[in-house]
Each structure stands twice: as structure tokens, then as C-alpha cells.
Amino acid sequence: MNLKNRSLITLRDFSREEILHILKTAADIKTRFKAGEVYHPLKGKMLAMIFQKPSLRTRVSFETGMYQLGGAAMYLGPSDIGLGKRESTEDIARVLSRQVDLIMARVFSHEIVEELALYSSIPVINGLSDFCHPCQALADLQTILERGKKPEGCKLAFIGDGNNVANSLVFGGLKLGMHVAVASPAGHQLRDDVRRWAQQDGGRSGGKLTLHLSPAEAAEKADVLYTDVWTSMGQEQEALSRKKDFAPYQINAALLKRAKPDAIVLHCLPAHYGEEITYEVGHGPQSAIFDEAENRLHAQKALMALVAGED
């Protein structure tokens, strides 16, 4: 399967077979790395990392991943580029296409990463936008598979804001035949276009989406419990009202008991313990949070190797 020169803007644009191919490659790369094997498909390649939002996992995993694959990464912060202010997004895409081999962008508006991909002649990877976080979803799916969960029929309960992480889990999960149950308070549910996609296209691989107001209902007999922070970057002014709205939407010991006995707990991090998840559950025996964080490295290495690596 050839993914050379493909951009990853959202998992909605990839087929079930393509997503599974990325995940299989990620598992293989991880195994080879743990065995100490040197694997340099990106030798001499350069990744430009555009950051409008700060990050721990995104920057470290992409920069380390390029190094481990034989390439290098360049950090471009807000003051280095000034997307759409000092220079147009189109011109930035065209210039970088002449000088580097890959672009990763972590931005506020999804339209920016779409525009970068439109005008770029090299692969563009969405490192996070307000609509999607596809690299996180790949790491999540890799972790679920590692824990012995078969995607077909696997129930993933997302408890919290119908945000970019939830959107990506819907796209990736339904493509693999999963049941994604999303529990969110009124006013914070999934976007209408994501719901419509799930209804019209999401079931083609046997997956389904269910929406709930009750966290307990969503978590019932779940194989995976997943949550994210209640207030994301850019929503700080809403923090107090969000704490009130989301107070019942916490993954804790009581909610975990409603899931299957062998259920795993995921969180894309950073975690605010005592809010969306308790420390007890986040660091408990059913938590795979730190395996999930590690898999950001390997999932992204697989993606970069497939879209920009040497054959």
C-alpha cells in the first residue's frame, strides 16, 4: 500500500485499510526500535514544525521521531512565521515546499492546515487543529490494539467535550468498525457535520456512533474509557462555566465499574486530576495513558516514514 506524498489532515480522508496499514507499520517500527535496530528511512530529510500552540508531546514526539528515523526537525514558533500576518499561509506553504521534505502544523484554526496542504507540494501533517487531532487518534488506536482489543465491535466511551480529539476518535474508530459512545453535556456535544458523517459514511466498516447525556450510560460495558481536559487552549475565559457544566463528566472509580472488567483508560494529556479524571484511575492498573503517550512517537514515525520515507 503506497501512502507516499499523502497529507494527513483528518482520518476521515483515509480508508480502513490505510489506517490499519499505518498502525501495523507503527507496531513494527516500535518492535524494531525496542530491539535496538537502526532504521533510517528519513535519512537526510527535514521536517518543519509549525507551532501556533505550545506542546510537550507533539514537539518531543515529532522531533525525536525524525531523529530516530535518520532525519531532523526544525521548530518554527509563532514569532518565527506569523501565519497569515507577516506572510500568507499560501506563500509559507510554497516556500517550505522548496526547502524541507515534510510539514507538521499545530494550529488554532483547521482552515490553516487545510490551506497549507492545498498549496504545499510536500506532505502536511495535522499536529492539532480546533477540528481534529488525527495523530493522537492513531496513537490511541495503536494502544487499543496493543492491549488486545479487536477494533470490530470494540466500544470506546468518550466522556467529556465533543472536541477535536472526540472528532478524530469518531473518524478513526468508526472506520475500523468500533462503537464510539460520546457523553457530553448539552451545548458541548459533537458538531453536526461530524454526526452527519457518522450517519452517512461511518457505518460502512461496521462502526457506529451513539450520543449520550449520561456518562454512566455511555460507559456501560465499554472496552475503553477516554477523556480529555474540560477547557482547551483558547477557551480559558470559559473555564469556570465549563467546570460547572462538566462536573458530572468525570472518569472515576464508580464510572470505571460500569465498563467491562478488563476495560482500559485513556487520556490524551495533559490531565487535570480531580476534574475530568481522578489520579486514582489515571495512575491505576487499568490505565494505559502513558503507553498511549509513548505511542505518539511510534505512530507518527510510521506516518512520516510512509509518506516521506525512502522505499
- Residues marked as catalytic: 106, 133, 136, 228, 268, 296
Q: Report d(CA 145, CA 91) in Å as an integer.
A: 40
Q: Report d(CA 230, CA 235) in Å as an integer.
A: 9
- Are 289 and 227 in contact by the 8 Å Cβ rule? The answer is no
Q: CB-based contacts of 212: which residues, under 8 Å, 6+ apart? A: 181, 182, 183, 184, 218
Per DSSP, which regions of 29-80 are E strands? Answer: 46-51, 72-76
- Measure Cα distances from 303 to 64, 88, 150 in Å: 14, 27, 21
- Are 53 and 108 in contact by the 8 Å Cβ rule? The answer is yes
